[in-house]
Chains A and B, each alone.
Chain A
Amino acid sequence: MLIWLAVFAGLGWLPAGQLFGFIAFAIAFILVAGGLLSSTFHLGHPERAWRAMSQWKTSWLSREGLIAVLTFIPTGLFAAGWVFLGRNDGALLMLGAAGALMSLMTVYCTAMIYASLKAIPAWSNVWTPPAYLVLSLATGAVLVTFISAVFGLDTVQPMIVTALIALAAALAIKLAYWSARSGAAPVSTSASATGMDRFGKVTLIEAPHSESNYLMEEMGFRIARKHASKLRAYAIGLGFLLPLALLAAVGWTQLPMPEIWLGVAVLSCAFGIIAERWLFFAEARHVVTLYYGETSA
């Protein structure tokens, strides 16, 4: 969203209206801050969260935290200029562009947190970074297009085209990812996990303990996996197909009240992407499950 606000402002598609600026940036910052705060509060020690910015030399999580917080500086100034001075050009636009670039870098770092985990083959592959980048661009474009339509801007049409392209690209990447995963050979097996390849087929016959443990609960996800095909249908239908259809309908027909239809597209996209995110975690099989009954991962 922050990216598109800068890009569309640069293209002259967004007037430096103060109310528009206030609403758009308020939504963007609430979403970003909400995300950062929720990840902070699920920590075991939220009060130590500042320490997470220290290890940017090796840790993608550290890099993500650092860039995410730094991004507030240029985007905050860009937003302040827009809201208080009614301007989004010149030096302010440069700040916006810097913020847009840093936002993209933040998303890339987020993707690399997952892509760098070799123990989870479903994440550790070439599809993860492009999927994160294009999904974030697509959802942001849909949201900015909706806000612009609410304000009755006459530049909504090219934004719809942008959002359509981004959504279609995101869908293509997700479909390619799913098809690549379905045919992927296992990276590790219970035989390699125990070093007993030469003795034949290796299966767990007794667990180390009678009750559950941290590893089984954190990396188990059996329930969500059971509903994978249903969730995938929701992700594709609500996350991509319905918003694509609504955007196209608003763009090329004379639908009354386009902002309502675009609002439905935003909601549908949000629910679809929640399903997609859920699946991304649920379908990720950690190789540690090889010690708890799985035979390949």
Chain B
Amino acid sequence: MTQLPSTPPQKKLGLVIDLDICVGCHACAVNCKEWNTGGHSAPLTDLDPYGAKPKGVWFNRIHTFEAHNEETGESRTVHFPKSCLHCDDAPCVTVCPTGASYKREEDGIVLVNGDICIGCKLCSWACPYGAREYDEDEGVMKKCTLCIDRIYNEALPEENRVPACVSTCPAGARHFGDLGDPQSDVSLLVEARGGVALMPEQGTRPVNRYLPPRQKTGKDVAPRMLEHQDDSNEGAGLLARWVDKILS
């Protein structure tokens, strides 16, 4: 059913991504692809994988942005992993004409039933975040499942029952948990670091949160560049001053 759950899910499983820590190594995207090409929405089709223009389905992609402050002249580079945000008011779900898209009442995860999806692509137009991708080979839409086949998988050791992207992140920039519980570790982390929702103006009420990079303190700032000493030899060592004197 493409109606959102009548009672909003109490449990809201989602990700918290720390932009202060992410180093942009793409390991989360690679492990996501690796797990999910054999998982719930398998395969994550690749077209022309070894050719000139490879193209395929990925649930997680890492963009790199630069934020430039014109007043201070300071720029910072931010690696920005993006996958489905499992929105409370998921527009991709309500536009679906077939009932293939749905939001789970028990944990808020947004999924696609590939057996009844007609491949009209309307959900990908409804999603502001680009979380849904079309599998040209299978003719259906695919998206992040929050590794539903890992997080409840009793065949896996308990510490591995987290999404593939979270388990593989070498920097510890990704956190998984229940954002519906204000006392959960992820909720407390969001609270402490001022975690933000992406594009709140779109009214989708995403579950996932992003922790913004920490503000620089102003101390401990390295000199921006070396100062040129073309005009004077002031402050130079004895040998350098002597060489300077001979040559000039």
Write the residues of chain A forming the contact surface with B, with a CB cutoff of 8 angstroms.
Answer: 43-46, 48-49, 51-55, 57-62, 65, 113, 116-120, 187-188, 190, 192-196, 198-209, 211-215, 218-219, 286-288, 291-292
Contacts and interface: CB of A to CB of B under 8 A. Distances in A.
Given A59-B96, A208-B61, A209-B61, A196 B78 contact: yes
Q: Nearest 10 A-B pairs (CB), nearest first?
A: A44-B119, A44-B139, A200-B69, A199-B67, A208-B61, A195-B196, A206-B64, A62-B97, A288-B130, A52-B97
B94 interface: yes
Contacts of A218: 121, 124-125, 134
B49 to A, nearest CB: 11
A286 B212 contact: no
B70 A52 contact: no
Interface stretch (B148-156, B178-186, B199-207, B224-232): B199-207
Nearest to B52: A211
Interface string B184-211: 0000000000001111111100000010
A193 B19 CA distance: 13
A61 B121 contact: no
Contacts of A188: 128, 199, 201-202
Contacts of B99: 51, 54-55
Interface residues of B, number: 70
A287 B200 CA distance: 12
Given A44-B118, A61-B120, A117-B126, A194 B98 contact: no
Nearest to A66: B97
Nearest to B98: A51
Contact of B98 (A54, A118, A187, A291): A54
B65 interface: yes
Interface in B102-122: 116-122
B211 to A, nearest CB: 9
Contacts of B203: 118
A218 B132 CA distance: 12
A199 B69 contact: yes
Contact of B58 (A60, A213, A292): A213
A190 B199 CA distance: 9
Interface in B81-111: 82, 91, 93-100
Contacts of B147: none
A196 to B, nearest CB: 5
Given A48-B98, A208-B63, A213-B58, A287 B128 contact: yes
B3 interface: yes
Contacts of B94: 58-59
Given A57-B3, A61-B95, A120-B125, 18 more contacts: A44-B135, A44-B136, A48-B117, A59-B94, A59-B96, A61-B97, A113-B122, A194-B78, A195-B198, A196-B19, A200-B70, A200-B75, A201-B70, A204-B63, A287-B202, A288-B127, A288-B128, A292-B63
Contacts of B75: 200
B219 interface: no
B10 interface: no
Nearest to A287: B128
Given A44-B118, A51-B118, A52-B120, A207 B63 contact: yes
A55 B1 contact: yes
B118 A205 contact: no
B132 to A, nearest CB: 9
12 contacts: A44-B118, A44-B136, A45-B119, A55-B96, A59-B2, A199-B76, A204-B64, A204-B66, A209-B58, A211-B53, A214-B57, A292-B63
B138 interface: yes
B241 interface: no
A218 B135 CA distance: 13
B55 A213 contact: yes
